[in-house]
Structure 1
Amino acid sequence: MKYIVFILFTVMTNAAAQLMLKYGMMNMGPLSFAGVNPIVKILQIVFSPWIFFGLCVFVISMASHLYVLSKVDLSFAYPFLSLAYVAVAVFAYFVFREDLNAWRIAGIGFICIGTILIAQSGREDHAAGTELAANSMTTNGMSR
């Protein structure tokens, strides 16, 4: 649980990147490749300020996630990324006026409950691992 700050940083930067990409694409207008070189169009998209900044924030999010993966189990860290769905849905409701109906709210609730359960399992696993290590050290020390 001591890496939860880094996990939540990963989640929030991931969500922030999604919001920046959405805003950038809204500013681009309708996307059409008709009569335009696709490579030029892709470069226009990538180097649009909000999209470029969103991609940079994704890189920061990925670097943070790699750090987290070097410290905790993947089966513990990865499910926390689902909280990015929660953050994106809530911020999209307020920033972009996107629909947040009862079904989405229920889904968000299930995501939050699942993440809490996973967080609790990490706490138990850590306690069990600490106890196992302590017992192992005691046993090894006594057998000498």
Structure 2
Amino acid sequence: MFCDFLLASAHHLLLFGLVAMLAIQSALLARPIDAAAARRLVGVDRGYGTAAGLLLLAGVARVFWGVKGAGFYLHNPWFHAKVGAFVLAALLSILPTLAFIGWRRQATQQPGWTPEPDRVARIRTLVRIELALVALIFVFAAAMARHGGL
């Protein structure tokens, strides 16, 4: 029972950390991007990726070692929706990650360089879609915990 408590606590804290990283990215993308902002975005994105990876591990551990057991999760359609939203957010995060790395490289090589405003806007939109998907994950988790959301 204590193991389940620890896994649930880690899972929730990591999810809140992931939300914080996305919110920071969104805020940074609302301002002009210079070399310092590009470096910050890369660092925050690294934190986001770390939180997402650890969150996935904690979630898998809950499925197999948590009190409810794999049968509860694997037969629950809301669990599959939750995992699907997580995977979609992870796939969408690839483009911002590549953009941040490229922006940092460009800003380092060419002082005064800034990315095109329309490119920044597209990346900001992707980050906000990721935030919306995370909000859906919270909704799916609530439905899942209530035995199918009924």
Larger Rg: 1
Tell me if TM exceeds 0.5. no
Name the TM-score, length of structure 1 as normaliser.
0.41
